[in-house]
Amino acid sequence: MKLQARRIVISPETVEMIKRNLRLLFSRQHIFKTIGGILFLIFMFIVAFPPDMHYRVNRIRRIQPPRSYGPQGDFHRRASELLFSIEMGDLSEAEILDAAAELDRILPLEFDVNRYFTILDRLQMEEGYVLDYRYRLSSPDGNPVLYARKENEMRDYSIFGPMRSNLKEGADAYLTHIKTDGTREGFVQLATLHLIGANFYLYWHAFYDDLDIYSRIPATVKFYDDEVEISIFIETFRAWMEIYTLRVKRNFPHKYVSESQRKVVPRLKTVRL
């Protein structure tokens, strides 16, 4: 038996009623209520159905060490002395191991950042490399700095360097050794790692670079011939909301190209430490 196609017929009265209601909704008297209702529905949709990265960002935050770090005593001087003795090359192999063990003890280096890859499952390290971090330290500030090293290579105990690791020389120290699966989600995970992978154990003025990701707002990804651009909404020390944009090479190695931050909702007051 053949099914006959059924036509849905809308009467002229129904069409006029729809037009009349639409004109009423978008009239001057009701336009703000209508826009507010639409924005409310969008907000409720985002709350009810957050993107996959929302759960991954929350899991990263749960395994990370505390955001704040307060060094005890004059360990900056002691760390400088140990590092200087290692770099001078006058120590025996056993003495170098002892100095490295003491640096491990006095610097906050116990967290294994390779645990991120159990959450960011579209990323993997280049074969033969591991992700690691050193702790950059000075008297007024301190923060972790991500880098990649060979599996059998001694970790970097250097406490010197620029305050931010999100600069090209710092970014390429590990981004060029991390592979993505080439998908949109893979590059979002790469940008997420770049943003909050070292966002822990911040000491004093390093909090100027503290941030949080608005993970309920989907990231945007644009693919170009040989580059990828990822934009994520974040909250920073200077603004309630900014759009952070990272640009990397599309093919492995994913070399850093550029990054930028654009304020969307600035803070009303400047906070000073």
Position 24 pLDDT exceeds 70: yes
Q: How confident is the model at residue 6 (pLDDT cuts 50, 70, 90)?
A: low
Q: How much is the pLDDT for 140?
A: 83
- Which has the higher per-residue pLDDT, 86 or 148? 148
Residues shown for the chain: 273
- What integer pLDDT is reported at residue 70 of this predicted model? 82
Beta bridge partners of 263: 242
- Residue 51: which pLDDT band, with cuts at 50, 70 and 90? confident
Question: Please, are residues 267 and 238 in contact by the beta-carbon 8 Å criterion?
Answer: yes
- Give the model confidence (pLDDT) of 55-72 as tens digits: 999 999 999 999 999 877
Phi, psi of 226 (to 5 degrees): -130, 15
pLDDT of residue 163: 58
Instruction: Report the alpha-carbon distance of residue 251 to residue 216 in Å, rounded.
Output: 28
Kindly state the tokens that stand for 148.
């990649």
pTM, whole model, 2 decimals?
0.81
Give the CA-trace dihedral at 200, 125, 243, 57, to 10 degrees. -60
pLDDT above 70 covers what percent of the chain? Answer: 89
pLDDT of residue 164: 58
* Of residues 33 and 67, more confidently modeled: 67
What value does the CA radius of gyration of the chain take, rounded to a whole number of Å? 26
| pLDDT tens per residue across span 77-111 | 787 888 888 778 777 888 888 888 888 888 899 99
CA distance 44 to 56: 20
> Residue 29: what residue type?
Q
84 versus 8: which is more confidently predicted? 84
| pLDDT in the model for residue 269 | 66
Q: What is the pLDDT of residues 216-273, one digit of tens each?
A: 999 999 999 999 999 999 999 889 999 999 999 999 999 999 999 999 999 876 555 5
pLDDT at 37: 76
Instruction: Name the residue among 146, 132, 142, 133 with its Cα closest to residue 75.
Output: 142
Q: Please, what sign has the CA dihedral across residues 212, 214, 218, 224?
A: negative
* Angle ∠(155,146,128) on CA atoms, nearest 5: 55
